Structure 1
Amino acid sequence: MADRKKSRKPRRALAPSASQRHGPHRTKKKASRARRVVTAIAITLATLMIVGVLGSLIFYARVKLPDPNADFNSQTSTVLFRDGSTKLGELAIQNRTMVDYSAMSDNVKAAVVAAEDRSFWSNKGVSPKGIVRSLFQIARGKDLQSGSTITQQYIKIRYLTSKQTMSRKLTELALAVKMNREVSKDEILAGYLNTVYFGRNAYGVEKAATTYFGTNAAGLNVPQSAMLSALVNSPSTLDPANGDDAKRDLTERYDYVLDGMLEAGKISQADHDANYDKLPDTLPVTQSDLYGGTNGFLLTMAEQELRKAGFSEEQIDGGGLTITTTFDQKMQDAAVKTATDNVSTAIRKAKTNQDASTLHAAVASIGVGTGEVYALYGGPDFLKSQINWATTARPAASTFKAWALVAGLRNGFTLNSTLTGSTFTPNGDNVVVRNDGGVNYGSVTLQKATSYSMNTAFTDLEQRMPNGPADTVKAANDAGVPTGDGWDLNNRIALGTGQVSPVDNATGFATLANDGQRNTTHVVKEVKDASGKVVYTGDTSATQTIDASLVHNAQTALESVVTSGTGTEARQLGRQVIAKTGTKDVDDQTVSAWFVGATKQISTAVMFVAGDGNANLDPYAASGAFESDSYPAYLWEDYMEQASQGMDRLNFNTNAPTQAASVRPSVRRTPTPSVTASATPEAPAANEPAVDVPTAPPASPEPAPAGTAGP
């Protein structure tokens, strides 16, 4: 049999790999997908860049310079005495005086550029390195970096805030670029130097030059300019007055500034070497005592008056105003000296040991015919106590009888009209009224009653006028004395329980000295704005509020207070004077003591009080009670003697000769009991004849009960 060949199945091929299975087509597909991803990313990034650029352009176009920060746009207002040149003080939000670029020395311009931004003259307002640094800080979640260019710093402190936020930083950058395009470099540098803080409460280069070196911005030399520019980096810590460490750190930065000035060709090598490591001498540091001492009261009054006149706080404190006050430096110095001298004397001679800080003297001196306050003493130091005793109302005591006198003359009484000069019980009253010390004078004239300050006679006058108390208040108001506490309408209103301030009492007597013409009392004479334009003038006009011929009679009576009555101390002045004294007792304790008097040119009120203004003055007397004819009269005469120097000796236009008394009674004051209004007043007879007036107290006066007004 023949051999048969076996048939074999074909061998199965091995399965291909993934790459073999898909081949070149699959590889190409993957590469295409990658390209699409990259393209998408590129498009996204490009879109973001375009959006970013467009957003930046829109942001740049829309961002505008906001209003300057008010504090950094302020200028110090200067307050002057009435001569218009002697400085009284300054008012400031920030102690700054703006000056033009031309009024700054080239030295300080070069120094601040060397210190803060050496690329200032060539950069576009921002620093690329600074931007990158800020972005890097943002990416790390750190605080933003401050602007490194002068333009950025100026933008931040003058227009923005110091908050470290993304929005503030972006605004700062945009504004810096915009400002660099729209404002000259000179203007930017001038604005920066007028704005930046140099330490020691000095804002701007002009105040810095004055504060540190006693010069101005135009007079700064190379070392002074370098030191001030070095301070800008950290004025509080680098102040050389802070010790050796501060001096060392300041010197290091000072040298850095000199190096920069040399590198920029702004100083010679010789100037550089001569000043290197050698800080210039500076003035001693002075504490900010703007309101210290007695001037604080004057400045405060000027501020208050300007506010009432419609000036805003920003205008007063930061408007660069020149405020000329009515205060006369010579008179002010005299008021301060005589007040402090008399207080010191009283303390030294007091019958018991007393604290000088508890005895308060007040002086208010006003120009007759103008209403200008020439001098004012309200206390020794405004910073220690803000109570201005010259504007604080206290019981007017017998000085208030001046207004009862005017009221009586208006009601038809004459200086020869007779009144009760002895103890009596007023109509409708059940409490007797007595004179100081219980003295009985009998029947007296109105002039005599004024001269001796008789409580009984003026109470009689009040009850005999149909509307006596109300007319007395009207007379005071017409003279410029405003109604105050304690002005109760009763028949003893003339005894002065009502409260009046020294300024108001001086105002009232100025009206009497000016023949019944009332002026508005004021302390601001003139105000000029920063450009020198007069924007306010104090009102010196007068209004006739009391009949002149009537006032002439009142002047005659009030002059007799000085020539023969309770105010003879004022005779030493050697001028014609109208005056009224007054002391007020409460529970047999003196709570206020006054001397108010005027020449034809000056009206001055002096008041003494103790403690909180209600304490007993008697312990401050050398003996007995604290009398109005002692320290109040002494102070008034001492002051007026100095204030009147060089003035003409003018006389009042009195209608009648003074009735001089042969003997001036020396008596004690008596207290004031509670009172009621007069029930049935008696009107005076027309043309009452003169009567014989006793010139001395009786030998045995009635004893005085506790409490009233004294002479």
Structure 2
Amino acid sequence: MADPQWGPVAKRPVGATSKKQRTRGQLWARRILIGLVSVVLLGLVGGTAVVGVGYATTNLPDANADFETATTFVYYDDGKAELGSFAIQNRQPLTLDEMPQSIKDAVVAAENRSFWTDRGISLRGMARAAYVIARGGTLQGGSTITQQYIKIKYLYSEQTATRKFKELFLAYKINKQLSKEQILEGYLNTIYFGHGAYGIEAASQNFFDVDAKKLTVPQAAVLASVINNPSAFDPDDEDNLDRLRDRYRYVLQSMADTGAITQAQADKYAKKLPKFPEIKTNERYGGPKGFLLKMVEKELTDAGFTSEQINGGGLKITTTFDKAAQNAAVKAAQDVTERAADASGQKASKLHAAIASVDVNTGEVIALYGGPNYVKNSRNWATTARPTASTFKTYALAAGLKDGYSLRSPFRGSSFNLPGDPTIVRNEYNQSYGYQTSLLNATTYSINTAFVDLVTTMKDGKDKVLDLAKDAGAPKATGWDAAPRNIPIGTPEVSPLNQASGYATFANDGTAVDNHVVKEVRDADGKVIYKAEPKKKRAVSEDIAHDVTFALSNVVENGTGTTVQALNRPVAGKTGTNGVDLDNGKNIVNSSWFVGYTKQISTAVMYVAGNSGSESLDDYRRPGDSTFFGGTYPAQTWGEYMKVATEDQAVRQFDPPAYVNADSAPQPTPTYQQPQPTQQPTATQEPTEEPSEEPSDEPTREPSEEPSTQQPEPSQEPSRTAEADPEPSQSSETGGGGDGTGDGTGGAGTGEENAGGDATPGGGG
């Protein structure tokens, strides 16, 4: 036996009812169902006479005219400027004789085994539909091929009980007026298979690049599988392949059960899916807007809309995208990418910029750049998770404040070892920021050692940081199982879209709002049938959010993010540059970030390279720079986009810091061993463009004097410019070392916004 929706289910257990018993039971069930349907029909429609009149007066409409003109349009957030449409229908009708037996058998076996003998209506399905209608619900998809055909070909917008029962009358009537062959022919010429393909001929071409008459049994089984849910079983999406494989095996087994193929054939074909040639994507997805349209489709599918509704339902979809901001995102990403490629003499096609921008209060995605052309490369870099480098420190900062620390709490400012761990935790170029430095200062200059000290000092610090990140809007992805010391350095991977949402939480006074791209949907008659209601959740208190924003403002005013000061309005943000050690001993930067926000908009910019997005960015670094810093091209891209996105918005100030826990914050118990001495910076000394010597993996000498373990007294309320540590030069920012996707056991690598200090894998920024 098998579940007609998702595939095989358990066989009937020993001791189950006999065939004779089942026959008796089915007879009584049939009588009960007929009675139930009759009662509900009589109650809703008004009696037997009305039912009879309804059946007699229900005529088949001109289906083709209605169906083929059901164009769905997609608009920008103003509901006027058109973004695109889902109206292009690739339809090439065939006669039933021209269709291969393989597809006829596969579809009947998968969708409606009793098709050739039933009356076009499933009694169980009719009873279920009547019950749903009686409760005021929406009529679900028909359980027979005839009912599905009615639902697809005779689309209506009104949601009245009369219209719903009219569909039932149509299914019964069409079964009397048309032969089974005519119904199956119409169905196979009408059903939607995905990729803009309506009907079996278009689907054969789109999926397998063959005429329908040449479909093999495995290919027919795939297409019969896809009918069930074109989005969930789309083989173009690798995430769907396991689901498709299960459904495919179910269809093959159903064909064997109905005698269309032998069991041996079913077992043979079930071993693997047939090969798929490169699927040609509809040109309506061409250019950057293709990523937006695909996101709209996915969001509506997740909300319960069917592929038929989206692609042929005559809908008016208003998105959240702002046209001016979207154009600015495309221009900024492409302009800066070209500049970086030209300056480095490399191919721009290998350098990928991603931009995601959300409204802080509503979660609406204002603009998104996932790539230059969806048709040529469907990977959406704006929704692809990659190592976050030091942009993840923001969540560690918030978790520390939530755990009882304050912006004034002192943490380790120079290299150290964790107990039982030979790996040295370092800063950029082995830079020392003093024996201890405040959490505020650690954020401003992205001090790796201080953040590792913070996370490893907190009880269950790793879990607390990861939980806070998820609460803020950064869902779990690859790299979240790394060692605790690697978490604040940026081993966890997050997509630019989710980073923009996570940072928006702090701009929104600690309340997280789910991002979304669809604002509302209207049917063909203009009635609103869907309106976005994003979930909201308090992630941190207002005071903690204000302290995080104050610390990130220091990054822009005094630290590694000064490039974006050109926006000339309050900005809070964080740079990030992720270093990774390769097996050959070479250290590269494989992701570079700037994530920041104003009071109204949060935007994340990420740069990656190569087909996988995990190759070296170093070849694209600015002339004179040691690597591809987050404070350079990513920050420039952010600034150029935000200049347009914020153009008509009022300049709003951030709330002042609350300095939570300033009077009661616990002093951290040092977990470090034997600090590694380096030249101490002074208030007038900045680190050089490059260190004079490459840092070694192990300490080269013992400290001449054991540092005191006495905790320094907190200073007076720190100002944004009064911290004792100097502002590092622009070249002193880069990502932490180690393997950003490994287990956190790497050796010396790049440090935050550097090219060589932090031995903690996956770090940086």
State if a TM-score over 0.5 links the two structures.
yes
Structure 1: distance between partners of 2:544 and 2:605? 26
Confirm whether residue 433 of structure 1 aligns to residue 425 of structure 2.
yes
**How far apart are residue 62 of structure 1 and its match?**
14
Give the number of the structure whose alpha-carbon radius of gyration is greater. Answer: 1
Which digits, 9 at most, give the CA deviation of each residue in 1:98-151, with x for residues without a partner? xxxxxxxxxxxxxxxxxxxxxxxxxxxxxxxxxxxxxxxxxxxxxxxxxxxxxx
The one of 318, 323, 336 aligned to 2:330: 336
Task: Give the 5 Å matches for 1:261-340.
Answer: 289-340=283-334
Q: Is residue 356–residue 496 contact of structure 2 (8 Å, CA) maintained in 1?
A: yes
Q: Is the counterpart of residue 485 in structure 1 residue 478 in structure 2?
A: yes
Alpha-carbon distance change, 87 to 685 in structure 1, aligned in 2, over 3 angstroms: farther
Question: One-letter code of the match for 1:389?
Answer: W
> Is the deviation greater in 688-697 or in 514-523?
688-697
User: What amino acid maps onto 2:413 in structure 1?
Assistant: G
Deviates more, 1:539-548 or 1:396-405: 539-548
Partner Cα distance (2:356, 2:690) in 1: 27
CA contact (8 A) 1:575 1:649 kept: yes
Report whether the alignment pairs 1:500 with 2:554. Answer: no
Structure 1 residue 551 corresponds to structure 2 residue 545: yes
**Cα offset for 1:467?**
1.4
Instruction: Report what 1:87 is aligned to.
Output: 82
Shift of 1:355: 1.5
Counterpart-to-counterpart distance in 2, 1:672 and 1:523:
49
SS of residue paired to 1:531: coil
Equivalence map 1:9-88=2 (5 Å): 65=60, 68=63, 72=67, 75-88=70-83
Residue 444 of structure 1: how far off its partner (Å): 0.7
Please give the per-residue CA displacement for 1:625-659, whole angstroms capped at 9, x wherever unaligned. Answer: 111111001100111111110110001112269xx
- The alignment yields a C-alpha RMSD, in angstroms, of 3.8
Instruction: For residues 40-99 of structure 1, give each alpha carbon's deviation from its aligned partner in whole angstroms, at most 9, with x where no partner exists.
Output: xxxxxxxxxxxxxxxxxxxxx999859957994661100000011000000136389xxx
Aligned to 1:389: 381
Going from structure 1 to structure 2, the CA distance change for 1:475 and 1:667 (only over 3 Å counts) comes to: farther
Q: What is the distance in 1 between the residues matched to 2:520 and 2:357?
A: 19
Map of 1:211-222 to 2, 5 A cutoff?
none
CA displacement at 1:542 relative to structure 2: 3.4
Residues 1:70 and 1:584: Cα distance change in structure 2 (over 3 Å): farther
The answer to whether the Cα contact below 8 Å between 1:297 and 1:388 also exists between their aligned partners in 2 is: yes
SS at match of 1:585: strand
Could you tell me whether the CA contact under 8 Å between 1:558 and 1:579 is conserved in 2? yes
CA distance in 1, matches of 2:497, 2:620: 24
Identify the residue that residue 445 of structure 1 maps to in structure 2: 438
Q: What corresponds to 1:474 in structure 2?
A: 467
Q: CA deviation at 1:544?
A: 2.1
Distance 1:158 1:338, change over 3 A: closer
Measured in 1, the distance between the counterparts of 2:758 and 2:70 equals 62
- The answer for the alignment partner of 1:374 in structure 2 is 366
Q: Determine the structure 2 residue equivalent to 1:457.
A: 450
SS of structure 2 residue aligned to 1:494:
coil
Alignment pair present for 1:630 and 2:632: yes
2 CA distance for matches of 1:482 and 1:202?
Answer: 34
The 5 A counterparts of 1:392-411 are: 392-411=384-403
What residue in structure 2 maps to residue 592 of structure 1? 591
SS in 1 for 2:485: coil
How far apart, in 1, do the equivalents of 2:536 and 2:58 lie? Answer: 56
Runs (5+) with no aligned partner, structure 1: 1-60, 97-154, 160-170, 177-194, 196-200, 204-286, 674-683
Tell whether 2:573 aligns with 1:579. yes
2:359/2:600 contact within 8 Å kept: yes
CA distance in 1, matches of 2:411, 2:528: 54
Conserved in 2, the CA contact under 8 Å of 1:366 and 1:374? yes
**Cα offset, 1:314, TM superposition:** 0.8
**CA distance in 1: counterparts of 2:491 and 2:290, whole angstroms:** 30
Aligned residue type for 2:79? G
For the residues of structure 2 that align with 1:307 and 1:296, how far apart are their CA atoms? 17
| Residue identity in the other structure for 1:647 | Q
Query: In structure 2, which of residues 509, 521, 531 is the aligned counterpart of residue 515 of structure 1?
Result: 509
Residue identity in the other structure for 2:726 = T
Q: 1:492 to 1:62 in 2, by over 3 A?
A: closer
Distance 1:541 1:158 in 2: 36
Residue matched to 2:99: none
Q: Distance in 2 between the 1:537 and 1:569 partners? A: 39
Secondary structure of the structure 1 residue equivalent to 2:79:
coil
Aligned to 1:542: 536
Q: 1:705 to 1:295 in 2, by over 3 A?
A: closer
Distance verdict in 2 for CA 1:172–1:356, change over 3 Å: same
Structure-2 change in CA distance of 1:295 and 1:621 (3 Å) = same
Q: How does 1:650-661 map to 2 (within 5 A)?
A: 650-655=652-657
> Equivalent residue of 1:374, what SS?
strand
CA 1:567–1:174: 2 relative to 1, 3 Å: closer
Change (3 A) 1:158 1:565: closer
Contact 1:421 1:457 in 2 (8 A): yes
- Distance, in Å, in 2 between the alignment partners of 1:414 and 1:158 is 64
- Hey, what does 1:48 align to over in structure 2? none
Contact preservation (8 Å) 1:401, 1:496: yes
Contact 2:589 2:617 in 1 (8 A): yes
The equivalent residue for 2:165 is none
Cα deviation, 1:445-464, whole Å, max 9, x if unaligned, reads 00000000011010000111
Matched, 1:564 2:564: no
Q: What does residue 348 of structure 2 align with?
A: 356
Q: How many residues align?
A: 460
TM-score by length of 2: 0.55
Q: Is the 8 A contact 2:75 2:84 kept in 1?
A: yes
Q: Distance in 1 between matches of 2:337 and 2:522?
A: 38
Query: Which ranges in structure 2 are unaligned for 5 or more consecutive residues?
Result: 1-55, 92-149, 155-173, 180-189, 191-195, 199-280, 582-586, 660-682, 698-709, 733-753
- How far the C-alpha of 1:696 sits from its partner, in A, is 5.5
**Pairwise CA distance, 1:288:** 6.4
Contact 1:294 1:382 survives alignment (8 Å): yes
Instruction: Work out whether residues 584 and 709 of structure 1, in 8 Å CA contact, stay in contact via their aligned partners in 2.
Output: yes
**Which letter does structure 1 place at the counterpart of 2:609?**
A
Q: By how many angstroms is 1:369 displaced?
A: 0.4
Evaluate the alpha carbon distance shift between residue 665 and residue 90 of structure 1 in structure 2; reply closer, same or farther with a 3 A threshold.
Answer: farther
Q: What does the per-residue CA deviation read over 1:194-236, in whole Å, with 9 as the maximum and x for residues that have no partner?
A: x9xxxxx999xxxxxxxxxxxxxxxxxxxxxxxxxxxxxxxxx
1:608 aligns with 2:603: no
Deviation string, structure 1 residues 328-376 (Cα, Å, up to 9, x no partner) = 00000000001000000001100xx321110000000101100000000
Alignment partners' CA distance in 2, 1:172 and 1:305: 36
| Cα distance in structure 2, aligned partners of 1:288 and 1:608 | 27
Amino acid at match of 1:333: N
Q: 1:559 to 1:65 in 2, by over 3 A?
A: same
1:216-265 alpha-carbon deviations (Å, 9 max, x no partner)? xxxxxxxxxxxxxxxxxxxxxxxxxxxxxxxxxxxxxxxxxxxxxxxxxx
Residue 725 of structure 2, aligned match among 682, 690, 694: 694
Distance 1:325 1:95, change over 3 A: farther
Secondary structure of the structure 1 residue equivalent to 2:648: coil
CA change 1:90–1:672 in 2 (3 A) is: farther
Which residues of 2 match residues 181-200 of structure 1 at below 5 A? Answer: none
Residue 455 of structure 1 aligns with an amino acid whose one-letter code is N
- Does residue 621 of structure 1 match 2:615? no
Query: Is the contact between residue 441 and residue 697 of structure 1 (CA under 8 Å) also seen in structure 2?
Result: no
